[in-house]
Amino acid sequence: MSAIDPGRLFPTPGFRRIAARLEAAGYEAWAVGGAIRDAYVRQIGTKPDLPDPGWEDLTTDARPEDVMRLFPRTVPVGVSHGTVKVLDGDDGYEVTTFRRDVETDGRHARVAFADSIGEDLSRRDFTANAIAWRPASDEVRDDWDGAEDIEDGILRAVGEPEARFREDYLRILRGFRFAGRFEWAIEVRTDEAMREAVDGLSGLSGERVREELLKVMADPKPSTALELYATCGALGHWYPELVELAAAGDAWRSALGAVDAAPAHAANVRLASLLVAASETPEGRAEAAESLLSRLKFSNADRRYITRLARLYLPFVGALDSAAEHRRWLASVGDAWEDLFELHFAVARAAGEPRAKRYLEATRERVREEREGDPALDLAGLAVKGDDLLALGMSPGPIVRMLLEELLEQVLEDPARNEREPLLEEARRLIEIGSLAEASRPRDTPAAGNGLPEADD
């Protein structure tokens, strides 16, 4: 008799509809995993702030082709591992056929279909994730005493821990995430098996490790799981850029504090707040970001953006800087400006410095006001274009861009100068100075960078 009370499980209407339809066709429909676990954690009150459990997963003895036949709107999202997405209104539910592990290489557990919920439960990773409920009969299956472990706050592998991690090394990282999220202690044998299996992490794919990291980063407080990554030796395999930082004690704790303090929906900022602690220099931070994010197969767009955040973190602006300095900073950071503030807020919050926080607020207010004045911050906003300079007789080449940048520099200093005629006048003046400099160069010394080899004498 499990402690799980079906009367306290409240699946969505969509979940109920899909389960009822499977049952009416003669199949079993079960909820397993996250939904039951989270509902029970909420019921016993150890994590009152836990969000409503997600009911988007069903487990059944129906085969994928049966599921596709039974429901009018389906998407074959992972038929080879038994999963069909069933659409209900605007919502999608993943319906997965009972499975068992057949053979494994530790990268992905290779699965075959199974006939019973019992077999299916025995291939799940942790006891807390292996509780099933069948709405049609209100039967609860808790073969591995997951409810008791949840009550005791214990993360325990299902069955033989050594074998379970060897089947799929990702379970180690999943374990850190659940232990961190629920603040559970890792059961002794499970813990030993995790540490022993940790070298197997290198064999995982970057994509799976990334998705796992992003789930940690979406939790309210990622630091506990990340600390487990560090203490169990998992950083060396996928996060070598963080190993030195993690060994540094205080700096690591501040970095983890900043991750927690950054908004949970802002994965980019959270990742950046770890990376900025990895090096003192902009180049060092950018290099750490670039190598770590490539290894984890982040999209080019995400990798470039987070690398930019890491590089641009410092130097920063202050409330007491001039408006021109605020504009120059805005020009150099572009659309990253708000996230850079989030990053600095996270670091300040982690340091528990109320004055720093107030100063940052004042700075952000001034920078925002400056930006709302809509000054020209890039060449696109400049009142003269490259063609205007060519019309003044300049020859095409990099020098045109250099001149435009000089004009932009003047406009950043004083936005009132962003008027076509005065800028053209200034351009003429600069071109003239440039050609005077050219003319005054001694005739027998080659101009710098003319591409000709030095005379060989």
Residues that bind ligand ATP (CB under 6 A): 32-34, 57, 109, 124-125, 129-130, 168, 170-171, 215
Least spacing, CB of residue 163 vs ligand ATP, in Å = 12
Of 16, 21, 23, 34, which lies in the binding site for Mg ion, with binding defined by CB under 5 A? Answer: 34
Q: Which of 225, 228, 219, 336 is nearest to 267 (CA)?
A: 219
Residue indicated by tokens 């107030």: 358
Least spacing, CB of residue 302 vs ligand ATP, in Å = 20
Please list the residues that pair with 57 across neighbouring strands.
94
**Contacting range for Mg ion; rule: CB under 5 A; set: 31-39, 112-120, 312-320, 414-422:** 31-39
Least spacing, CB of residue 33 vs Mg ion, in Å = 6
CB 61 within 8 A of CB 97: yes
Residue indicated by tokens 């435009």: 404
**Of ligand ATP, Mg ion, none, which one sits near residue 168, judging by CB under 5 to 8 A according to partner kind?**
ligand ATP
Does 92 bind Mg ion (CB under 5 A)? Our answer is no
Nearer to ligand ATP, 134 or 326 (CB): 134
**Of ligand ATP, Mg ion, none, which one sits near residue 434, judging by CB under 5 to 8 A according to partner kind?**
none
Phi, psi of 250 (to 5 degrees): -60, -45
Nearer to Mg ion, 94 or 338 (CB): 94
Nearer to ligand ATP, 123 or 237 (CB): 123
Q: What secondary structure, in 3-state letters, does 192-258 show?
A: HHHHHHHHHHHHCCHHHHHHHHHHHHHCCCCHHHHHHHHHCCCHHHHCHHHHHHHCCCHHHHHHHHH
Nearer to ligand ATP, 109 or 403 (CB): 109
Least spacing, CB of residue 129 vs ligand ATP, in Å = 3
Tokens of 328: 């120059």
CB 206 within 8 A of CB 228: no
Q: E strands of 61-115, at which residues?
A: 74-78, 83-88, 91-97, 99-104, 109-113
Distance of CA 182 to the CA centre of its chain: 20
Nearer to ligand ATP, 215 or 417 (CB): 215
**Contacting range for Mg ion; rule: CB under 5 A; set: 33-41, 101-109, 264-272, 285-293:** 33-41
Nearer to ligand ATP, 125 or 241 (CB): 125
**Of ligand ATP, Mg ion, none, which one sits near residue 180, judging by CB under 5 to 8 A according to partner kind?**
none
**Of ligand ATP, Mg ion, none, which one sits near residue 215, judging by CB under 5 to 8 A according to partner kind?**
ligand ATP
CA distance 266 to 103: 38
Nearer to Mg ion, 85 or 368 (CB): 85
Q: Which amino acid is at 307?
A: T
Q: Where do contacts with Mg ion occur on this chain (CB under 5 A)? A: 34
